[in-house]
Structure 1
Amino acid sequence: MDSAPKQSRTETPSALKSTAELRLKNFMNEVTGRALVMMESATQGHHGIAMDLVQEAFISLHKSYSDKTTDEWYPLFYTILNNKLQDWRRKEASRAQPFSFFKKVSLDDDDIEQLDIVDESTPNPFDFLDQALSAEEIQEAIAQLPTRQQQAFMLRAWEGFDTKTTAQIMSCTEGSVKTHYHRAIQALRLSLSHMNPYKGGSSE
């Protein structure tokens, strides 16, 4: 598991721009793997599309925000990536339904009933799932979640963003993030429970 975003030194905008390419290379090395997992899950396992979305997000980040610090890049990158994903999903929906422009196409489930729950904090997905589970098993289970639950879980549990930042990235309310995240955790616990030998109950 990669460490949380690291603090960067205070630098002037001109210095940040001059070192942008090197910083971007290091930034890409750190987040590409996790971003690809997220996009592959969101695009139903389309590796090529996931790669394109991640690369386009990096290009946009470098083009528009080269003067920002590396710390500022983390939420900016995932915001851009989320926007790229939503654009792709709209195009796919229009392609599947040629006349969908005559009606509103609902791609997200942010209108779901928001649960009155205390914000959950899960800095590491393995903290609430059995340690014996492999990353591949967890990723397969994540891929079965609705897209917005995937995003909420990955941004909160894998990237370590707080609820407020996650809501900004996903362009939704903090209440929606809490609900998506809560339901994702419950679904993952249920779908992976049969792999956990430490859960109670008979094995017969």
Structure 2
Amino acid sequence: MDLAPKQSETQNSSVLKSTAESRLKNFMNEVTGRALVMMESATHGQHGIAMDLVQEAFISLHKAYADKSTDEWYPLFYTILNNKLQDWRRKEARRSQPFSLFRKVSLDDDDVELQDVVDESTPNPFDFLDQAVTADEIQNAIAELPVRQQQAFMLRAWEGFDTHTTAEIMNCSEGSVKTHYHRAIQGLRTALAHLNPHMGGSSE
């Protein structure tokens, strides 16, 4: 009996698996740092929870989408990560509101869309660094924003996703993304203005 075809299929499968794992390792090395910053801000500095969410998102990505291209992984990963974050936030909300088990838990108080918000160009977060504001100061200011504003800003400004893709990741309308992003930029400018007079605040 000729076993060559089966052996060939096994070898091909092994090569594909190895390639996917290698791609995932490279992808993780590139994305982990930014994803952790995002999750630490969203979980109020709980590094352990942030690590768990990021690791669970990578595991789910590999299980469900190992055959996808690396370019496709970016929005898929952040969609999975957003879903895991929202699940965690719901559990935390229910834990703090024990009588909310049978009613919908509201996670955000800034979901009302602003009308006629211009889809602002994505700023480079390092523009703030050029204005003598440190990375730590930017991260601290981001952490003070509501979670959805954090997500909109970091997905657009740090990851470079457009409004449409960001809306798909955040599972909301493009109008909501524009609103969250607009408010995030305003909030960051206000929070950081006192550190640099070029941003509209006082240097004193």
- Judge same fold: TM > 0.5, yes or no: yes
Using the aligned pairs only, state the percent identity.
83
Q: Distance in 2 between matches of 1:133 and 1:200?
A: 13
- CA deviation map 1:79-130 (0-9, x unaligned): 0000000010111111111221222111134641323121011241133675
Q: Distance in 2 between matches of 1:202 and 1:97?
A: 41
Aligned to 1:93: 93
* SS of equivalent to 1:148: helix
CA RMSD of aligned residues (A): 2.1
Moved more, 58-67 or 102-111: 102-111
Query: Which structure carries more relative contact order (alpha carbon 8 Å, separation 6+)?
Result: 1
The amino acid of 1:156's aligned partner reads R
Aligned to 2:40: 40
- Residues 1:139 and 2:139 aligned together: yes
- CA deviation map 1:130-186 (0-9, x unaligned): 531111110000000000000000000000000000000000000000000000000
Structure 1 residues 190 and 58: CA distance shift in structure 2, 3 A? same
**C-alpha displacement of 1:198:** 2.7
Q: How does 1:27-176 map to 2 (within 5 A)?
A: 27-109=27-109, 111-127=111-127, 131-176=131-176
The amino acid of 2:175's aligned partner reads G
Moved more, 43-52 or 108-117: 108-117
Aligned to 2:8: none
Q: Distance in 1 between matches of 2:14 and 2:166?
A: 29
The answer to whether the Cα contact below 8 Å between 1:53 and 1:84 also exists between their aligned partners in 2 is yes
Structure 1 residues 111 and 146: CA distance shift in structure 2, 3 A? closer
Q: Whose radius of gyration is greater, 1 or 2?
A: 2
TM norm structure 1: 0.87
Aligned to 1:7: none
The answer to whether the Cα contact below 8 Å between 1:124 and 1:158 also exists between their aligned partners in 2 is yes
Query: What is the number of equivalent residue pairs in this alignment?
Result: 192
Q: Distance in 2 between matches of 1:143 and 1:169?
A: 20
More helix by share: 2
Structure 1 residues 182 and 15: CA distance shift in structure 2, 3 A? farther
Where structure 2 has 5 or more consecutive residues not aligned to the other structure, the ranges are: 1-12
TM norm structure 2: 0.87
Aligned to 2:6: none
**C-alpha displacement of 1:197:** 3.4
Q: Distance in 1 between matches of 2:141 and 2:203?
A: 22
